[in-house]
């Protein structure tokens, strides 16, 4: 018996080994290699692994562009995450009212998520055209036509806050996904609880405030993590809307430009590692929380 | 109960979507840089870089010419090559997208793997020298220039700009001019403005327009701002001090550079507020549509105006950027000879065609640029390009920053960073300090 069991163990290890090996090399190996490059003086076409310690990191934190990147990332993340969660929750509550056509609207709200950020970016670049006067178009033209002139604005070309306009496009794309998460959460609130509350004389608003919303906390946490890490890594949406322009710069764009346009491989790797750290700060506590929860079950 | 079941189905549906979305992420990277212009004829050029048949001599030429007039021009030059060297098979290893960004990344990978193509395209000047000569990848071409007599047919002031330590490293096939001022003749006439020839005249002209609903100077996204910046530096400093910026003899922290930066800041005040949302085409189009009076752009804008069906000297006029008359700020696509070219003789044959009069006369009328040689037949070109040919043969030649002639890529990215921070914060002392630091860290300054 035990021989057979050993054989099974060996077989299973053999079956899993290729993927472990691949992940080990192509994920963790490359992370380690990037880290090594980030401590090197590599600048130019050919590799140069001269050890320079934290020089690339120190230079980044004294680089005004990197501070603009950090500021933009914070603005983008706040607007995008809060906006998607609020809009997603709102749509989910609407859909949860057992109205006719629920299936249709559920798919409708989810569809933007199936589109790539590049497509969203191109479309929103047209919609958010900041031109006025005879060249007016997109949202501004719409506002002009329906008499909402005060809403006409400069969108992503607004100094300092332009990045928030880009977050609007991201909210449009991801709020359907947040809605699906919340709808799942809402449907898992037992009807018995609601009915018990009704019997006790609670209004519908009170039911949401004191029963449903607290039960959605785990969903909110998941949404926060998923949206948060998308937001930290945002790249394609901004490239499609604005290209490589500093007022709308984020770390991922700086990383790409430093590495492939300027051949600052050391600096690019340092930005990559900092991005990884930022994402890990978000993800690792979440994973630990999940593992503990599963252990409880 | 059924509610609970549904929630799990929804969640798993979402999870599947997430997975699908992440999977899409990889594919997106391939297409994001493909500009509309590249798409039009991208199908004509073979994209793959597979090694072809083993027998016979061949030359694998790497470029980012996959669409529009560029790809058509390359095809025309390949035809000339096929007639001159019928025994050599031409392998077109063009990589589409991102105005060469994708191609350069692929090339860098191939060079690091020790698998260079036989020749590749690059912007003549420091973009090639700073990247590939610094990494010992290129062979000097002085022997070919002497053998083919190119030194006699190319402008004398061009040669130092494509050389390092007396060695010439590339064969330019086309020439574009960066310091061109495009204007709308009707607007200038209506406002009683003569075409400005100095910066002061230009400021005065734009002051007149500032009161009208015409944009004095049309500007586009950040790289077009850098393009404007380099022409204003040239106008303010003059060709000698401008050249000195790039070889370290003009100090970046000097008073004359500060004065030039102030001119640049002053010019920005005449531009459209929505510049960062416009491509260079959008900005140039404002001039021919009558929304703006002036635009500074390289002379590929002329090809774009023609595409729009506009008439030279009627719908648009041109002049050297005010203050840069008599100077030709150039950029050029060129081909190189790698140190470890797999087929060195075939590569030299290709470069011979690329530098020949027949090759350049085939390429340039199609691409909409002028020959690097000064002996091409003017009858092949339109009225703008003929005037550019005259200037090319007679003017002082200086190089463009934005298009890779005067500064290596690292330095250019540092300058771009400084410019971007300046646009966001408008601190001119900080801008000058950042430019000075950039010259020390990536340029020739101590």
Give the pLDDT score at B350.
95
Is residue B37 very low, low, confident or very high in pLDDT (cuts 50, 70, 90)? very low
Residue B1: the pLDDT is 40
Q: Report the pLDDT value the prediction gives residue A150, as an integer from 0 to 100.
A: 84
Residue among B6, B31, B223 minimizing CB distance to A187:
B6
Among A63, A249, A263, the residue with its CB nearest the CB of B410 is A263
Contact, B373 vs B354, CB < 8 A?
no
For the segment A156-173, the average pLDDT, to the nearest whole number, is 91
- pLDDT at residue B332 in the model: 94
Sketch the domain layout of chain B as residue ranges.
Answer: 42-176+333-399, 180-330+404-442
Which pLDDT does position B26 carry in this prediction? Answer: 37
Domains and CATH numbers, chain A: 63-296 (1.10.3720.10)
Average pLDDT (A220-235) is: 92
| pLDDT score for B226 | 96
What confidence score (pLDDT) does residue A296 get?
Answer: 67
Asked whether the beta carbons of B331 and B298 are under 8 A apart, the reply is: yes
Neighbouring residues of A275: CB distance < 8 A, sequence distance ≥ 6? A232, A233, A251, A252, A255
Pairing, β B333-335 against β B171-172: antiparallel
Please state the rounded mean pLDDT for residues B116-140: 92
What residues of chain A lie within 8 A of the CB of B106, using their CB? none
Contact A130 B274 (CB under 8 A): yes
CATH topology of domain B180-330+404-442: D-Maltodextrin-Binding Protein; domain 2 (3.40.190)
Across chain A, mean pLDDT equals: 90
Contacting residues of B for A113, CB less than 8 Å apart:
17, 21
**Regarding beta strands B327-331 and B396-399, do their DSSP bridges make them parallel or antiparallel, or are they unpaired?**
parallel
Q: For residue A185, how many other CB atoms are within 10 A of its CB?
A: 25
Residue B3 has pLDDT above 60, yes or no: no
Read off the pLDDT of residues B267-289 as tens digits, 9 standing for 90 and up. Answer: 999 999 889 889 899 999 999 99
In this chain, the answer to whether the domains covering B42-176+333-399 and B180-330+404-442 adopt an identical fold is: yes
pLDDT digits (tens, 9 = 90+) for B353-401: 999 999 999 999 988 899 999 999 999 999 999 999 999 999 999 999 9
Over residues B247-265, the mean pLDDT reads: 96
Please give the interface size between A and B, counted as residue pairs whose CB atoms are below 8 Å apart.
Answer: 140
CA distance B58 to A278: 50
pLDDT category, B100, cuts 50, 70, 90?
Answer: confident
pLDDT at position B46 is 40
Is residue A114 less than 8 Å (CB to CB) from chain B? yes
Contact state of B274 with A243 under an 8 Å Cβ cutoff = no
Would the CB atoms of B112 and A47 count as touching at under 8 Å? yes
Placement of tokens 């910066």 in the chain: B199
Calculate how close chain A gets to B426, using CA atoms only, in Å: 12
pLDDT of residue B104: 83
Residue of B nearest to A246 (CA): B420
For residue B320, pLDDT beyond 50: yes
pLDDT computed for residue A31 by the predictor: 96
Is the pLDDT assigned to residue B49 strictly greater than 60? no
Residue B110 CA to residue B278 CA, distance in Å, equals 35
Q: What six digits make up the tokens of A13? A: 């290890």
Query: What sign for the dihedral angle of Cα B256, B262, B267, B272?
Result: positive
Is the pLDDT confidence value at A228 over 60? yes
List the single residue in B11, B31, B424 with the smallest CB-CB distance to A246: B424
Rounded Cα distance between A93 and A95, Å, is 5
pLDDT digits (tens, 9 = 90+) for B183-210: 999 999 999 999 999 999 999 999 999 9
- Structure confidence at residue B2 (pLDDT): 44
CA distance to partner chain A, nearest, from residue B213 (Å): 9
CB contact under 8 A, B412 and A262: yes
Cα of B105 to nearest chain A Cα, Å:
7
Res. B29 pLDDT band, cuts 50 70 90? very low
Instruction: Please state the ipTM of this predicted complex.
Output: 0.86
pLDDT tens-digit map of A87-138: 999 999 999 888 888 889 999 999 998 899 999 999 999 999 888 777 888 8
Which of B28, B222, B273 lies at the smallest CB-CB distance from A116?
A: B28
Tell me the pLDDT tens digit for each residue of B418-443.
999 999 889 999 999 999 999 999 99
Least confident of A230-234, A286-290, B286-290, B308-312: A286-290
Nearest CA in chain B to A239: B32
Would you place residue B13 in the very low, low, confident or very high pLDDT band (cuts 50, 70, 90)?
Answer: low
Residue B329 neighbours by CB under 8 Å, 6+ apart: B177, B178, B179, B230, B231, B234, B398, B399, B400
What CATH class is the domain B42-176+333-399?
A: alpha beta
The answer to whether residue B113 scores a pLDDT higher than 60 is yes
Which residue among A129, A135, A181 sits closest to B291, beta carbon to beta carbon?
Answer: A135
pLDDT in tens, A59-98: 999 999 999 999 999 999 999 999 999 999 999 999 988 8
């Amino acid at each position: 018996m035990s021989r057979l069991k050993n054989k099974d163990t060996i077989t299973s290890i053999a079956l899993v080994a290729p993927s472990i090996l691949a992940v080990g090399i192509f994920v963790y190996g490359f992370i380690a290699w990037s880290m090594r490059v980030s401590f090197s003086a590599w600048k130019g076409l050919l590799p140069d692994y001269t050890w320079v310690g934290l020089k690339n990191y120190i230079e980044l934190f004294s680089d005004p562009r990197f501070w603009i990147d950090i500021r933009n990332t914070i603005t983008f993340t706040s607007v995008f995450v809060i906006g998607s969660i609020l809009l997603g929750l709102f749509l989910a509550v609407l859909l949860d009212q057992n109205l006719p056509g629920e299936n249709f609207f559920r798919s409708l709200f989810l569809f933007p998520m199936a589109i790539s950020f590049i497509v969203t970016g191109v479309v929103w670049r047209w919609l958010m055209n900041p031109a006025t006067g005879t060249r007016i178009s997109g949202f501004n033209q719409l506002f002009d036509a329906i008499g909402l002139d005060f809403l006409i604005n400069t969108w992503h070309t607004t100094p300092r806050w332009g990045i928030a306009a880009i977050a609007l496009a991201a909210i449009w794309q991801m709020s359907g996904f947040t809605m699906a998460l919340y709808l799942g959460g809402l449907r898992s609130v037992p009807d018995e609880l609601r009915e018990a509350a009704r019997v006790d004389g609670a209004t519908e608003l009170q039911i949401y405030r004191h029963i449903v919303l607290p039960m959605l906390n785990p969903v909110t946490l998941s949404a926060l993590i998923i949206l948060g890490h998308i937001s930290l890594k945002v790249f394609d949406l901004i490239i499609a809307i604005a290209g490589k322009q500093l007022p709308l710069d984020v770390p991922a764009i700086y990383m790409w430009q430093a590495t492939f346009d300027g051949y600052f491989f050391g600096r690019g790797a340092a930005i990559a590692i900092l991005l990884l750290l930022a994402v890990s700060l978000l993800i690792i506590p979440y994973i630990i929380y999940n593992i503990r929860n599963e252990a409880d079950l | 109960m059924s509610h609970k079941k549904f929630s799990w189905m929804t969640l798993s549906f979402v999870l599947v979507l997430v997975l699908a979305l992440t999977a899409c992420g990889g594919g997106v990277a391939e297409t994001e840089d493909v500009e509309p212009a590249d798409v039009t004829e991208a199908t004509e050029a073979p994209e793959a870089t597979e090694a072809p048949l083993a027998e016979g001599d061949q030359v694998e030429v790497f470029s980012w010419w996959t669409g529009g007039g560029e790809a058509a021009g390359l095809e025309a030059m390949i035809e000339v090559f096929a007639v001159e060297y019928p025994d050599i098979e031409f392998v077109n290893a063009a990589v589409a997208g991102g105005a060469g960004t994708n191609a350069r990344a692929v090339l860098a990978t191939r060079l690091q793997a020790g698998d260079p193509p036989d020749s590749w395209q690059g912007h003549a000047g420091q973009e090639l020298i700073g990247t590939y000569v610094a990494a010992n990848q290129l062979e000097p071409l002085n022997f070919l220039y002497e053998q083919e007599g190119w030194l006699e047919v190319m402008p004398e002031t061009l040669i130092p700009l494509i050389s390092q330590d007396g060695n010439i490293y590339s064969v330019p096939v086309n020439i574009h001019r960066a310091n061109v001022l495009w204007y709308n003749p009707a607007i200038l006439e209506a406002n009683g403005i003569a075409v400005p020839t100095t910066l002061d005249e230009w400021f005065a002209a734009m002051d007149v327009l500032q009161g009208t609903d015409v944009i004095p100077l049309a500007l586009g996204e950040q790289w077009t701002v850098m393009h404007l910046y380099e022409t204003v530096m040239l106008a303010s400093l003059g060709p000698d001090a401008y050249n000195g910026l790039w070889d370290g003899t003009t100090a970046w922290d000097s008073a004359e550079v500060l004065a030039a930066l102030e001119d640049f800041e002053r010019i920005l005040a005449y531009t459209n507020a929505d510049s960062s949302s416009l491509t260079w085409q959008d900005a140039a189009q404002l001039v021919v549509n009558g929304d703006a009076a002036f635009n500074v752009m390289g002379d590929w804008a002329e090809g774009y105006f023609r595409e729009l069906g506009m008439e030279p000297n009627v719908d648009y006029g041109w002049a050297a950027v005010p203050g840069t008359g008599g100077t030709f700020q150039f950029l050029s696509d060129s081909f190189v000879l790698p140190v470890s070219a797999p087929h060195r003789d075939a590569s030299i044959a290709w470069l011979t065609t690329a530098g020949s009069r027949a090759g350049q006369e085939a390429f340039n009328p199609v691409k909409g640029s002028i020959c690097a040689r000064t002996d091409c037949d003017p009858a092949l070109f339109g009225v703008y390009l003929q005037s550019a040919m005259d200037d090319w043969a007679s003017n002082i030649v200086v190089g463009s920053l934005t298009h890779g002639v005067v500064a290596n890529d690292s330095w250019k990215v540092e300058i771009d960073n400084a410019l971007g921070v300046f646009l966001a914060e408008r601190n001119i002392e900080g801008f000058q300090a950042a430019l000075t630091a950039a010259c020390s860290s990536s340029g020739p300054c101590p």
